[in-house]
Structure 1
Amino acid sequence: MTTTNHRTMIGGQAVIEGVMMRGPQSTAMAVRRPGGEIHLETWENSSIRDRWPILGLPILRGVVSFVEMLVFGYKTLMTSAEISGMLEETDQEAVRADAASPSEQTDTAAAAKEDESDAPSSKGMTAVAGFSMVLGLLLAVGLFLVLPAVLVKYTSGVVHYGAFRSLAEGAVRLGLFVGYLALLSRMEDVKRLYGYHGAEHKTIYCYEHGDELTVENARRYTRLHPRCGTSFLLIVIIIGIVVSSFITWDNLAVRVLLKLLLLPLVVGVSYEIIKFAGRHDTGLMRAVLAPGLWLQKLTTREPDDSQLEVAIRSLQAVLTGNRADDAW
């Protein structure tokens, strides 16, 4: 196995029975169909930063990247659920129409028009999906921002000093986050998803070390990767604890509101930290990333060969043939 280590900016996420990879020019999603074959879709990359270069500045670029990946990641999850056969047949056409390119949407709409009375409305499905996403975000805010603040606020007889309260609040938030991931990791469907997460990491490691992208080669690498969304979220929580220590405890509603308003700043700073750490392999940076690697033991699982095969197909689809194009 070669020791050459090429740090790549290619990354992605696990989806239902598949892996999505985002490369320097395009994004690909490979999904295992119920019959066993691998379905591959690709898209040309686009970002609001292409139209507004100012959004590519430090801090701002992290916020934009986070929002874009959140939205796109949700769409790929919905699409992969349909491809893998998880969605009911009556829901599939509406989801595909929502996720398709403009030209594909025209063809889909024309074909669906004949069955308009029987098929569910694409706009209705989109609204339901959007509502589900917003509801999920609200629940996340309530669980990880509001609940810790409320719990600590009403233990003022135990914790008095503001900085200590912030540390206690951060500890509660971190405990909820780890507990939430631990509970998820016990669900059978999530175990399967985490296997694809592990396959994504192993495949990227294989590419970074210059080995041929084969199942046998990828299998030998660790499933824990420093430039992972799990590590990023952990850094967000830690930076949030630091920022929260400067926010008043006098009024709980004001505190929560200020934390929400400062969340983009926390996300942007966290993005710059993980980007810097990924480029500098020093003892300090490895220490910064180590807790995220430990946490990935909950969010990844050892993949089987069929999962590695899917991840490899997805990664191969976004490679340009020039390793310099995707250098971190």
Structure 2
Amino acid sequence: MRGVVLLWDALGLGMRALTLSANTQTGEDEKLEGAPLYLTLGLSLTIGIGLFFLLPAGIGGWAEHWLAQTTSAVWIGNFVEGVLRLLILIGYIWAIGFMPDIRRVFQYHGAEHKTINAYEAGAELTPENVAKYPIEHPRCGTAFLLTLVLLSILVFTALGPLPILWRLATRILFIPILAGIAVEYIRWTANHLGNPVVQWLIKPNLALQRLTTRPPDRDMLEVAIESFQSMRKAEAEIVL
């Protein structure tokens, strides 16, 4: 339950940040708010659920029906669904990385990671210092996405064969539960990075971040540092 609450809070903050960023970029005459904003968010959510959950579930159901004629392993259809979901995720991230605007976002993403890594190491936050630190971070949202997909493979495979409507319904209903577990897993691994087993477990998450980050330039590091310092100042004012 705590993971679900934390995820909901993070999603709310993320949505507000994205809206502010979009409105800043488009200018005062083209602000995204009200019905257009909610329509955009709703459409994005629908496409995301359809692409990453319902489409693989439908194909997995077809595979389950076809494979039932040649094998008695009832879990294969769900496993095929899970692997397909993983491939769609990786392929989607890889493909959008060729878009110039997204590639620039990935550079800022890398600058953010380097800044946080430098801060957590106790280093002075200057572009020269921050540039030396890793571009991967164990608490990255990319790690959350991969963990969520891998959890879905395990859970949905264990459910066994289901009628198509139940299959689609469970994929939607289980999203918040699996997401909450994924959040808790990411928090747990981040708190036990000195454990050799944990270091092995997080390798896939760190590897996938090579697709969602790019080496930043100096200006991006400066922006990341200034943003991080502003965030810390705002947090201190809230506490006070």
Structure 2, unpaired ranges of 5+: 234-240
User: Structure 2: how far apart are the matches of 1:137 and 1:168?
Assistant: 24
Structure 1 stretches of 4+ with a deviation exceeding 2 A read: 155-162, 246-250, 317-320
Alignment pair present for 1:157 and 2:66: yes
Alignment of 1:37-116 (within 5 A): 60-83=1-24, 86-92=25-31, 95=32
Measured against aligned partners, the alpha-carbon deviations of 1:107-128 in whole angstroms (never above 9, x if no partner) come to xxxxxxxxxxxxxxxxxx3211
More strand by percentage: 1
Residue type at the aligned position of 1:304: D
**Paired amino acid for 1:134:** G
TM-score, length-scaled by structure 2: 0.89
2:162 pairs, out of 237, 247, 250, with 250
2:119 aligns with: 207
TM-score normalised by L of structure 1: 0.66
The worse-fitting range, judged by mean Cα deviation, of 167-176 and 310-319 is 310-319
Instruction: Report which of the two has the higher share of helix.
Output: 2
CA RMSD of aligned residues (A): 1.9
Q: 1:269 aligns with which of 181, 185, 189?
A: 181
SS in 1 for 2:137: coil
Larger Rg: 1
Q: Confirm or deny: 8 A CA contact 2:75 2:161 kept in the other structure.
A: no
Amino acid at match of 1:78: T
Partner of 1:190: 102
SS of corresponding position for 2:224: helix
Which residue of structure 2 lines up, in the alignment, with residue 298 of structure 1?
A: 211
What is the CA deviation profile of residues 80-115 of structure 1, one whole-angstrom value per residue up to 9, with x for unaligned ones? 2333xx3154114xx5xxxxxxxxxxxxxxxxxxxx
Q: Which runs of 5+ in 1 are unaligned?
A: 1-59, 96-124, 321-328
Give 3-state SS (helix, strand or coil) of 1:220's partner.
coil
Identity of aligned residues (%): 36
In the aligned structure 2, how far is the partner of 1:275 from the partner of 1:91?
A: 38
Residue 153 of structure 2: aligned partner: 241
- Residue identity in the other structure for 2:228: L
Contact 1:247–1:258, Cα closer than 8 Å, also in 2: no
**How many pairs were matched up?**
230
